[in-house]
Chain A
Amino acid sequence: MGITISNISKSYKNVKALQDISFDVKPGELFGLIGPDGAGKTTLFRILTTLLIANEGTATVVGFDVVADYKKIRNSVGYMPGKFSLYQDLTVEENLSFFATIFGTTIEENYDLIKDIYVQIEPFKDRRAGKLSGGMKQKLALCCALIHKPKVLFLDEPTTGVDPVSRKEFWDMLKRLQQKDITILVSTPYMDEAALCDRIALIQHGKILEIDTPQAIVKHYPKQIYNVRANNMYQLITSLNKYEHHHSVYPFGEFVHYTDNRADINPNDLILYLESNNLLDVEIAKTVATIEDTFMELAK
């Protein structure tokens, strides 16, 4: 009774937005759709929320077909679109009670569900939504999406453009909602948020690269990654890219993530090579793969 997606494809004019997508989201799962802008995340969300019709394939949400039973789905899902989509000229409370009314309920009826989140914005309930900070807007939007007690919650890039503190709070809220038997499908371009999901699908150019738990995805990374640093980042990257055995070279914060073509390497060889390229203070150390490394390896 969660979400099933089988062989969904969707094209706009000459762009293939989604190509043969299939996966299931189990009831009560917190499922993450991870990919950059333009990967097809929003298109998939709109198909599942009955706003678009796929060219091929079928999908069900809480057991209902997204095309034939679209009215039933609209009654039982909550949806938070990508951009902030509340009425800026209405106050916090007016927004919430408007969405309660159109779903045929009241704030009081489902107050339990939103209480945790709403108390944080309640002090500002007479403030117009347009005057709230990014984090507050997002909390209000979540409350509005939850007010009719949906069985499935669709959150399209809820944390884009929100500061780290609000992002963290938001994910904490999702974890608590999950315990109230709500299935959550969330999309994000931030790879570091992937680890907070039960399972994730990595998506790019309308194709799924991999689906698994975050831990498993990282474990499947085929190579040993080395953190390399030196006194000059640009020279370091250029030199590594010229190194005959290199497999991948990606800047990664203050380091470069380097993988080698050979099964076993002696870091000292690499240090010698880099020093012969006039680099100083070279350091090399083994490190573990992240979701981002996996994503890049799969997308390569």
Chain B
Amino acid sequence: MKRFIGFIKKEFYHIFRDRRSLFILFGMPIAQILLFGFAITNEINNVDIAILDHSKDATTKEIINKIASSKYFSTKQIINREEDIASVFKKGQVKAVLNFEKDFSKNLIKENKATIQIITDATDPNTANTISNYVNAILQKYQKELNKDITMVYQIVPETRMVYNPELKSVYMFVPGVMTIILMLVSAMMTSISITREKELGTMEILLVSPLKPIQVIIGKVFPYIFLSIINAAIIVMLSIFIFKMPVQGSLFLLGLESILFIISALALGILISTISATQQTAMMISLMALMLPVILLSGFIFPISSMPLPLQVISNIIPAKWFIIIIKGIMLKDVGLQFIWKETLILLGMTVFFMTLSVKKYKIRLE
């Protein structure tokens, strides 16, 4: 035990004396969260739109009013002919045109159905997508109000994903993803680098020719990073609560436990990487290529998994981050308990045990 404590003490010396990695460790989560929160955002403000209203009745007026009074849109133009749609887009004056069909109110009451066409300028697909989401949200809200007044329900509107983020704040969607990336990076990359550094320096040779057991070396290497990763996770959650006023719905305790599970799986991956790389540089490259890219691209953090081609959807299943994102989104945004996410948790646990066993097995007691 004394050997083990001595080892951990040494690891902390390394970490606290290396200013650069300390900066990465604590500066990065803060920078990333702030970046995603403020700069890289899907939110829109005061987007110019044009209205083409073929009915000009009470309902359409009310809808137009609702849209125009939201801070997201400003009605720049009222156009009267279908032919004008193309020209306003070409002039680049508006990003979207709302086209109300003829006899809108009448259709709504008679047939329980009326149509608005939302035409967006898809040269910027992200914005286009967001605009149509926002318009939809406003429409749904209006429908709800409409249905409240009238006891008979005219329309059954399927709930879309925006219900869990009613204010449409993109930062809420990013927090789970950023947290996943940071925990992965800190845990996997830092451990793999710190183990390969010993190989590069030649100190690994001395550690091997000592009575320390492989498992002691592994746990000694991993322990400080579990500790630091937990602090990091806490910083991220606090930032999102206090700076972005994100309401964390679920149990913080459960969130903590799930995070620790994910951290351990990432650490195991880090050890695995260190067993196959001889230098810090390779360890870093492998961590970035084999871990970071899949986490960013295939975990559902940025691109929804459901819209990926089938092979990628299958591959995404073997990425621990995918399951972790589902879990923490559930806890943070939906207030779900373990009864709803036990399956994902079990998968993550299985992966962790698998990686851990593999890395302890692969950890060499000799040099080759």
Chain A residues at the B interface, C-beta cutoff of 8 Å = 46, 49-53, 70-71, 74-75, 77, 79, 81-90, 94, 97-99, 101-104, 144-145
Contact = CB atoms under 8 A, between A and B. Distances in A.
Interface string B252-284: 000000000000000000000000000000000
A173 B202 CA distance: 23
Contacts of B10: 87, 90, 94, 98
A83 B209 contact: no
B367 A51 contact: yes
24 contacts: A46-B205, A50-B366, A51-B208, A51-B209, A51-B366, A53-B366, A70-B365, A71-B211, A75-B211, A82-B202, A83-B202, A84-B202, A85-B202, A85-B203, A86-B203, A87-B201, A89-B14, A89-B17, A94-B10, A97-B6, A98-B7, A101-B5, A102-B3, A102-B211
A99 B365 CA distance: 18
Interface string B1-30: 011011101100110011000000000000
Contacts of B7: 98, 101-102
A199 B14 CA distance: 41
A79 B211 contact: no
A200 B225 CA distance: 47
Contacts of B13: 87, 89-90, 94
A102 B205 contact: no
B366 A104 contact: no
Given A51-B366, A52-B366, A90-B13, A104 B2 contact: yes
Contacts of A86: 203
B212 interface: yes
B367 A52 contact: yes
B220 to A, nearest CB: 9
B210 A85 contact: no
B204 to A, nearest CB: 8
A89 B209 contact: no
B195 to A, nearest CB: 14
A104 B209 contact: no
Interface residues of B, number: 26
Looking at A46, A70, A101, A144, the one whose CB has the most chain B CB atoms below 10 A away is: A101
Nearest to A90: B13
A85 B211 contact: no
Top-10 shortest CB links A-B = A101-B6, A85-B202, A51-B367, A79-B209, A89-B17, A81-B205, A83-B202, A49-B209, A85-B203, A81-B202
A102 B216 CA distance: 10
B125 to A, nearest CB: 48
A94 B6 CA distance: 10
Nearest to A46: B367
A99 B205 CA distance: 13
Secondary structure type dominating chain B contacts: helix
A103 B210 contact: yes
B202 A102 contact: no
A88 B366 contact: no
B310 interface: no
Contacts of B9: 98
Interface of B: 2-3, 5-7, 9-10, 13-14, 17-18, 201-203, 205-212, 365-368
Contacts of A75: 211
Contact of B368 (A52, A71, A84, A98): A52
A94 B7 CA distance: 11
A49 B202 CA distance: 14
Nearest to A53: B366
Given A46-B367, A98-B10, A102-B210, A85 B2 contact: no
A41 to B, nearest CB: 14
B107 to A, nearest CB: 75
Contacts of A81: 202, 205-206
Contacts of B209: 49-51, 74, 77, 79
A50 B211 CA distance: 12
B206 A104 contact: no
B200 to A, nearest CB: 10
A79 B14 contact: no
Given A74-B210, A103-B211, A79 B366 contact: no
A274 B70 CA distance: 105
Nearest to A70: B365
Contacts of B206: 79, 81, 85, 99, 144-145
Nearest to B15: A89
B74 to A, nearest CB: 58
Nearest to B16: A89
B24 to A, nearest CB: 16
Contacts of A144: 206
A87 B202 contact: no
B6 A98 contact: yes
A113 B158 CA distance: 80
Contacts of A74: 208-211
A52 to B, nearest CB: 6
* Residue of B7, B206, B367 ringed by the most chain A CB atoms within 10 A: B206
B3 A88 contact: no
Nearest to A82: B202
A88 B205 contact: no
Contacts of B208: 50-51, 74
Nearest to A101: B6
B259 to A, nearest CB: 29
A101 B212 CA distance: 10
B20 to A, nearest CB: 12
Contacts of B212: 102
Contacts of A99: 206, 210
A85 B366 contact: no
A70 B203 CA distance: 18
A84 B200 CA distance: 11
A88 B201 contact: yes
